[in-house]
Structure 1
Amino acid sequence: MDDLFVGRVMSTDLHTVAPETLVADAAELMLDNCVGSVVVVENGELRGILTRTDFVDIVAKSRPKAATPVSDYMTTDVVTTTAQAPIRDVADTMTEHGFHHMPVVSDEDGLIGMITSTDLAAYLSHVQTPSPA
């Protein structure tokens, strides 16, 4: 696993919203596409991420959901990785911070993908390991 890089297991089918997107619309997008997060992008730049976990906060604060923009709840201090990062480092970072989604960026192209705990688990489930004796 040390020589496997993020680019081999990340998802590139990203679902993005703008900071002014209403949380109700973001939730619908996530449900329609069976994804756990949307990436908030403005003028081609990564501005934040909104995840299923953030919706707990939205419901708890009981603001009018239909009129609440994503920017009110998105995480703005987004921890990112690159396609060349070893997945072990990414897994360690995700575990350390307790999150399940990490946007993948490049200096040339900006946001290029997303690696999730599901991507890591799917990879591990396909790795051939010897059975215990």
Structure 2
Amino acid sequence: MNAADVMTSPAVVVSPATTVREASAVLGDHGFSALPVVDDEGGLVGIVSGADLLMAGMTPETANSPVARVMRKSVISAPMSATPAELTATMLSQRLRCLPIVSNGQLLVGVVSRSDLLRILTPADAVLAARVDAALRSYSGSPRWTVEVHDGEVSVSGPFADVAERKVVEALVRTVPGVRGTQVAS
């Protein structure tokens, strides 16, 4: 497994001519911490973070100025061949929330975020089990049932007050995104 398997691609990017206001809107709309800045050929020429934009201030003059005035031109990036361990080490040692992935030295092909790396560390079934468990705790107010997940198939076991509660739990489990099947047993 390498960066090409983990990265988000295509990356959401801005150009050096994008205004500070437009870049701020993109960051806010997507919830990103930073945006790669690319030239017309897709080459990585900088990065602009929310902190960069805040430090620039939002006066009418700076809001309409190009990102090129506030972006950082020195960008840490990684090649597509970088392993998850290498990506993690780089991100942690440099205190990065996202890491641009490049091909042929500068051509941006994607971005790896902390979330991307966490996803590969956590099996999908474990994530789904946690979501189902959270939904059931929200419904009941306490951990009343045992949740097991195998390949998206959810099994819930434990005591049910009656048949109606059992049906409610089964319906609730089916509403959790990613659930492929449900089995409820007392």
1:62-94 CA-to-partner distances (Å, cap 9, x unmatched) read 673322221122121111111211111111111
- Give the CA deviation at 1:128: 8.3
Query: Alpha-carbon deviation of 1:109?
Result: 8.5
Whole-angstrom distance in 2 between the partners of 1:63 and 1:94: 34
1:55 is matched with which residue?
53
Query: Which segment is superposed worse, 72-81 or 26-35?
Result: 26-35
Consecutive unaligned residues in structure 1, runs of 5 or more: none
What is the CA RMSD across the aligned residues, in angstroms?
A: 2.5
Q: Which runs of 5+ in 2 are unaligned?
A: 127-186
Distance 1:56 1:93, change over 3 A: same
What is the TM-score normalised by the length of structure 1? 0.80
Q: 1:109 to 1:69 in 2, by over 3 A?
A: closer
Distance 1:125 1:75 in 2: 33
Residue in structure 2 matched with residue 71 of structure 1 by the alignment: 68
Which has the higher Rg, Structure 1 or Structure 2?
Answer: 2
Greater RCO, 1 or 2 (C-alpha within 8 Å, sep 6+)? 1
* 1:107 aligns to 2:108 (yes or no): no
Q: Which moved more, 1:103-112 or 1:7-16?
A: 103-112
Query: After TM superposition, what 4+ stretches of structure 1 lie above 3 angstroms from structure 2?
Result: 61-65
Count of equivalent residues: 125
TM-aligned CA distance change 1:90 to 1:108, over 3 Å: closer
Give the distance between the partners of 1:67 and 1:5, measured in 2 at CA: 39
